[in-house]
Structure 1
């Protein structure tokens, strides 16, 4: 038998769950799964002193690659995007520590691409000389929040991540006030990158496990 578990529970939902079922759940907060939420307009404009370094990256990128193009991803581009994603993941596997999550990520990306229209996905890509050097995929999650699920760029091209981030934010309809760029998974480099964009909200999430005598001691130890 397995305990009843709710994952990705926000603080407000946790409080409501506790009110409805007092002392029935063990609540576990994991900071590796805090969502980073930004103002869409701030990501699109990158205004202010705190984001000066981002503008510097973009200025260098635009000076080095004046022929770059940002293009929305259409169904005609999905095969090319999948090929780029496979190359990116293969490079990550070859140059980094063994990481089983890359295999899972490959499946997730392919599932997004295979169901691009059905899932109402929206994507964008950066091309240099007709070749994809970065892409991103996202979709709406509420009436005012758009979620970025995937973002990949060539690490040998300075500013590729910064430019795809900005251009995609500019392409998101203005009805969306916020952009959720999801969690950092406890990865120091990813955490630093997400913090560098000055999130508006760090959305804490909990795992709530139904408390029973045979589980409670282990969970709370």
Structure 2
């Protein structure tokens, strides 16, 4: 039976283990990625257990614990035991980020379960070529804003490397001063997450792009390969000095990734109205849908 003693904190030293496991069981949702867990550990307190060839993830956010479905070969007994265990130790939604196929399987195991879609954590997946080329009428306004940026802002584009990584961190300090991170708990934690990602850029096998305006770092993106056909953009930040810079870093990142993958996952909107509108404006190809188990 699953117990609390089975779980241990996710640390940077666990990278090889997760790489090997995810090579066998590729992920499609950003929250399960190793990079996401170690970068957001200071707020979400990720832990994991390895039981019967399955990885079970847990996180505790603002004092509320939730679990993820087992990642590995389907094991009905293990799933039933996780439902029991999560019901004892988790919050109002004991198991979250359940993919539709697993949700259906859980219903077959126990028809009494209450499983509901979690729209706020649906992730937006775009065709990489669409974000890179912005074709047709759907992207007319975005192309116009991007052309305005290119006309009005003297800029250069370069990958993030060991040589300019320090500048990326200095840029992040300026971004936080503009956004008022000190007065917003979520933004403060996001700053820590991005700092961690940049500090451990090499260990996490991350890649990134930087846009300079008048020689100064004005926008960055950080991304990695998610699975065979999809890349994942973890962070994308820009300063307000040049209108359209977010459009520019989005397009420049996509132009690099379109040569390597078919799709780009740009994560969820967390239910933030303005963010949802912005993500829909780019016309996602499909969504990574997830469900939650409710008490």
- Tell me, yes or no, whether TM beats 0.5: yes
Q: Please tell me whether residue 60 in structure 1 is matched to residue 153 in structure 2.
A: no
Output the CA distance in 2 between the equivalents of 1:90 and 1:31: 31
- The residue number in structure 1 matching 2:138 is 50
Output the CA distance in 1 between the equivalents of 2:283 and 2:187: 27
Structure with bigger RCO (C-alpha 8 Å, 6+ apart): 1
Judged with a 3 Å threshold, the aligned counterparts in structure 2 of structure 1 residues 58 and 130 are, in CA distance, closer, same or farther, namely same
Q: Please tell me whether residue 126 in structure 1 is matched to residue 126 in structure 2.
A: no
Please state whether the residue corresponding to 2:246 is helix, strand or coil.
helix
Q: Please tell me whether residue 84 in structure 1 is matched to residue 171 in structure 2.
A: yes
Judged with a 3 Å threshold, the aligned counterparts in structure 2 of structure 1 residues 58 and 198 are, in CA distance, closer, same or farther, namely same
CA deviations over 1:92-116 (Å, ceiling 9, x no partner): 117x9x4310121011111111211
Please state whether the residue corresponding to 2:150 is helix, strand or coil.
helix
Please state whether the residue corresponding to 1:127 is helix, strand or coil.
strand
8 Å contact 2:129–2:258 — kept in the other structure? Answer: no
1:186 to 259, 264, 271: 271
Please state whether the residue corresponding to 1:174 is helix, strand or coil.
coil
Taking structure 2 as the reference length, the TM-score comes to 0.65
Output the CA distance in 2 between the equivalents of 1:76 and 1:25: 53
Q: Please tell me whether residue 152 in structure 1 is matched to residue 237 in structure 2.
A: yes
- The residue number in structure 1 matching 2:195 is 110
Q: CA deviation at 1:194?
A: 0.5
Q: What stretches of structure 1 move > 3 A for 4+ residues in a row? A: 3-6, 23-26
Q: CA deviation at 1:24?
A: 6.5
Output the CA distance in 2 between the equivalents of 1:68 and 1:113: 22
Q: Please tell me whether residue 202 in structure 1 is matched to residue 202 in structure 2.
A: no
CA deviations over 1:58-79 (Å, ceiling 9, x no partner): 11111112x3111111122221
Please state whether the residue corresponding to 2:264 is helix, strand or coil.
strand
- Give the aligned length: 206
Q: Root-mean-square deviation (CA), in Å? A: 1.9
Structure 1: gaps spanning 5 or more residues: 210-218
Judged with a 3 Å threshold, the aligned counterparts in structure 2 of structure 1 residues 15 and 163 are, in CA distance, closer, same or farther, namely same
Q: Please tell me whether residue 17 in structure 1 is matched to residue 102 in structure 2.
A: no
Structure 2: gaps spanning 5 or more residues: 1-87
- The residue number in structure 1 matching 2:129 is 41
Output the CA distance in 1 between the equivalents of 2:111 and 2:90: 15
Taking structure 1 as the reference length, the TM-score comes to 0.86
